[in-house]
Amino acid sequence: MGNALGFLYGHCCKPSATGESDSLAPHGVTAATAGVSAPAQGVTFEFHTLPVDARCVTDGDGITVYVSTSDPRESCLVPQEVQIAAVERSEARAQRDYTRADALHKSIVNAGYRVIAIQNDEVLARKYRIRLRGIDAPEGQMPYGNEAKEELAKIVQGKCLRVIVYEEDQYGRLVGDIHCNGIFVQELMLKRGMAWHYTAYDQRAEFAEWERNARAERVGLWASSNPEEPWQWRRRNRREGR
């Protein structure tokens, strides 16, 4: 990267490892404990995100994040056309040519990047869609679908996340573990009864234990006597052509 792009890099924040913040303090027995679950086998890489916008939470197990291109792994992956468009956009804005600046930013977005304003500065960031590994939250049309989405948004809103990536799924999402302020997000979602342990793709014993305890305490979706599994719901709706 040249010096002309210096204004775009920085603000690659890393979550605190000191434990759960006051804003995440759960009720009763639903507390998450940092560092309990070791990563599963097959980790490919990890990264830290910029602060998350709650609107980027798609459902109870999916989220869109942005990673600063100052990240060592990202800095060498930025396409040249994106670098040039970012510089030209900055110059256009300095000249108050906002029509050209907006057109250039559209080309940046189409390439999978975005210029994000943070603390009176601008950061060039890469977009990633994340699927939380090992859990399956209710779909939006299912009971507790909206509650699961809102719970995840409450956990991550405004926070920098540590994402441990295993693989890419058939929809182009990175499948991974998410940590936030020392909190293992999948643990919190399971303990609060906002998701199932997705045993077809993750057999970590602690996941099963967290779900089992939530079931016993009838928290979240387990307040229902027989909630439908989201994978069964999806299969049924595909069969019925919905």
Which of these is catalytic: 74, 89, 126, 131?
A: 131
Contact partners, residue 177, CB within 8 Å, separation at least 6: 37, 39, 40, 132, 133, 134, 163, 164, 166, 184, 185, 186
Instruction: Let me know: does 167 contact 177? Beta carbons within 8 Å.
Output: no
Which of these is catalytic: 139, 151, 187, 211?
A: 139
Active-site residue 173, yes or no?
A: yes
Active-site residue 212, yes or no?
A: no
Task: For residue 32, give Cα distances in angstroms to 25, 63, 182, 183.
Answer: 9, 20, 9, 6
Instruction: Let me know: does 207 contact 40? Beta carbons within 8 Å.
Output: no
Mapping DSSP onto H, E and C, the string for 172-188 reads CCEEEEEEECCEEHHHH
Active-site residue 133, yes or no?
A: no
Which of these is catalytic: 126, 133, 162, 173?
A: 173
Catalytic residues: 131, 139, 173
